[in-house]
Amino acid sequence: MAHQFPVGFDMPVHDRSRISLAVLLCGALYICNCLAGSESTGSVATGADPRTLLADFRRPAAMPVTKSNPTTPEKVALGQMLFFDPRLSGSGVISCATCHNPALGWTDALPKGLGHMGGRLGRHTPTILDVAYGEPFFWDGRAATLEDQAKGPLTSAAEMNMPAEQAVKRILSIPGYVTAFEYAFPGKAVSVDTIAAAIASYERTVVSNSAPFDKWVAGDEGAISTAAKRGFALFNGKANCAVCHSGWRMTDDGFHDIGISGSDRGRAAIAPGIVQLEYAFKTPTLRNVNQRAPYMHDGSLTTLSAVIDHYDTGFVSRPSLDTQMHRLSLAPEDKADLLAFLDTLTSVDSPAVVPQLPQ
Amino acid sequence: MNRASLLCLVTAVMLAGAVRAAAPITVTQKGLQFSVEDLNVSKGQVVVFVNDDRTAHNITVTGEGVNLNGGLQQPGAEFKVPFVKPGTYQVSCGIHPKMKLSVTVK
């Protein structure tokens, strides 16, 4: 017996109790909510030394392993070629790298991406930097895996406009690719699944290097400025950034309405019935963030200063606004310190190699 | 049977079930993770989810034809889920879908 409860986050407690009893009497799983606690505060917010939080931002020692698609050198090499190959698009002129340009922080420096025949897309192009560590994908999280994500733009009529069958035909028409697929996927036929698996394998190698902030986390006191250290304290305290921009990539991989005006429902279109997911979008990483203007899911803010101003006073209040959003009353020097901190998150990364494409 | 008697009977059945069920199990949500990835419980056992993070969470339970959304769970709040039907369930957070937990009920 199926029970579907499109229960909103703001459902009154008495309604929850009624539904719980109904489900119990049906002999199925029931649920009851005990709102017992009160909001906790971080140690920085209470005035503790922000250095006590550094462990929460330490880079992991090892890459995550993708059991369903283990990374191999052959897959990475193939995926690298596919990523940069415009022949994988219906028009023959768009590759993954057209929007995820390594010279532009693996995005495109545009407010919103350009797709098939120059059509304007609905959202800002997210970076692929450090995607090996996060899930789900897209601003609205509609792809659970990087492999699923890779299929999206490829086959979307608005983006690369390359239907799966057509993509396979085009690959099979290029002998160099046929050989590369045999090496990468022995015994498997070329398919949109193996195309996506190879692209995802390459994308997982796009990892940021150690930044000045990481050196400070590791104990090098001189790695970042005093202003940046104050910025880190603000980031975790008064400015409340770390409540979502948490961990070494500075993202909780979660979805929040941060009050950007507009009609794009974001995550709510994927997970309807949850008030707090209306206008909610995935928290982006802040690694190398000063190389990726413009900002936000709609590319509406052109500088990091504008982003800080948005969080300070510029957001739209509405029922779905994340409960952590509130006016910050940041002083100009606070904003300068936050910017100094954000600058420490940028690493000097190895230049991306554009491969020779197979013929 | 009048309405009051029926209510007493239903309550008695519920209490009897509660007495037979094993003690509640606590699972914490901290660091954007559940404290366990897999959980085995007995039929009727209650799992108490405790939000030890600074951010709000949500408990979503799917599986065995069930699709339940528990609403917003503020920092510090508990959320109790009695698993009364045998099977395998997936528990996740609607806000942070990377948080996952598998619950097997026997």
pLDDT tens-digit map of A74-83: 999 999 999 9
Residue with tokens 């390459």: A202
Average pLDDT of the segment spanning A216-243 = 96
Confidence of residue B20 (pLDDT cuts 50, 70, 90): low
For residue A51, what pLDDT is reported?
74
Is the pLDDT at A36 greater than 70? The verdict is: no
Which segments of chain A does DSSP mark as H helices, in order? 13-25, 73-83, 96-99, 146-155, 164-172, 175-184, 192-203, 212-217, 226-236, 304-309, 332-343
Q: Which CATH class is domain B23-105?
A: mainly beta
Average pLDDT of the segment spanning A188-214 = 98
For residue A52, what pLDDT is reported?
80
Confidence of residue B6 (pLDDT cuts 50, 70, 90): very low
Report all structural domains of chain A as residue ranges with CATH numbers, in order of start: 7-38 (no CATH), 50-62+209-343 (1.10.760.10), 73-203 (1.10.760.10)
Q: Are strands B57-63 and B66-73 parallel, antiparallel or unpaired?
A: antiparallel
Is the pLDDT at B11 greater than 90? The verdict is: no
Distance from CA of B100 to the nearest CA of A (A): 12
**Which positions in chain B touch A266 (Cβ < 8 Å)?**
none
Residue B51 forms contact with A (CB below 8 Å): yes
Is the pLDDT at A29 greater than 50? The verdict is: no
Average pLDDT of the segment spanning A27-42 = 34
Rounded distance between C-alpha atoms, residue A155 and residue A166, angstroms: 9
Is the pLDDT at A28 greater than 50? The verdict is: no
How deeply is B52 buried, as exposed, middle or buried, from its count of CB atoms within 10 A (0-12, 13-18, 19+)? middle
Neighbours of B76 (CB within 10 A): 16
Of A31, A40, A141, the CB nearest to B76: A40
pLDDT tens-digit map of A209-223:
999 999 999 999 999
pTM of the model: 0.84
For residue A48, what pLDDT is reported?
57
SS3 (DSSP) at B81: strand
Q: Which of A334, A300, A320 is nearest to A258 (CA)?
A: A320
Quick check: A274 and B84 CB within 8 A?
A: no
**Which positions in chain A touch B83 (Cβ < 8 Å)?**
29
Is the pLDDT at A20 greater than 50? The verdict is: no
For residue A45, what pLDDT is reported?
42
pLDDT > 90: percent of chain B: 67
From the centroid of its chain, how far is CA A305?
21
Quick check: B95 and A277 CB within 8 A?
A: yes
Is the pLDDT at A22 greater than 90? The verdict is: no
Is the pLDDT at B16 greater than 60? The verdict is: no
Quick check: A7 and B71 CB within 8 A?
A: yes
**Would you call A159 a catalytic residue per the annotation?**
yes
Of A8, A136, A243, the CB nearest to B97: A136
For residue A272, what pLDDT is reported?
83
Is the pLDDT at A8 greater than 70? The verdict is: no
Confidence of residue A47 (pLDDT cuts 50, 70, 90): low
Quick check: B69 and A256 CB within 8 A?
A: no
Quick check: A9 and B71 CB within 8 A?
A: yes
For residue B72, what pLDDT is reported?
87
Quick check: B32 and A246 CB within 8 A?
A: yes
Is the pLDDT at A178 greater than 80? The verdict is: yes
Confirm if A65 and A40 have CB atoms less than 8 A apart. no
Distance from CA of B50 to the nearest CA of A (A): 9
Confidence of residue B14 (pLDDT cuts 50, 70, 90): very low
Inter-CA distances, A274 with A49, A204, A241, B28, B94, Å: 37, 32, 23, 22, 8
Is the pLDDT at B104 greater than 60? The verdict is: yes
Distance from CA of B13 to the nearest CA of A (A): 10
Of B77, B95, B98, the CB nearest to A276: B95
Is the pLDDT at B33 greater than 70? The verdict is: yes
List, in order, residues 6 or more apart from A138 with CB less than 8 Å away.
A126, A149, A152, A282
Q: Are strands B33-34 and B57-63 parallel, antiparallel or unpaired?
A: unpaired
For residue A39, what pLDDT is reported?
28
Find the closest chain A residue to B72 by CA distance: A9
For residue A297, what pLDDT is reported?
98
Confidence of residue A121 (pLDDT cuts 50, 70, 90): very high
Choice among A23-32, A151-160, A260-269, A310-319 with the minimum mean pLDDT? A23-32
* All structural domains of chain B with their residue ranges: 23-105
**Which positions in chain A touch B59 (Cβ < 8 Å)?**
31
Average pLDDT of the segment spanning A77-104 = 98
Distance from CA of A133 to the nearest CA of B (A): 11
Confidence of residue A131 (pLDDT cuts 50, 70, 90): very high
For residue B66, what pLDDT is reported?
87
Quick check: B55 and A25 CB within 8 A?
A: no
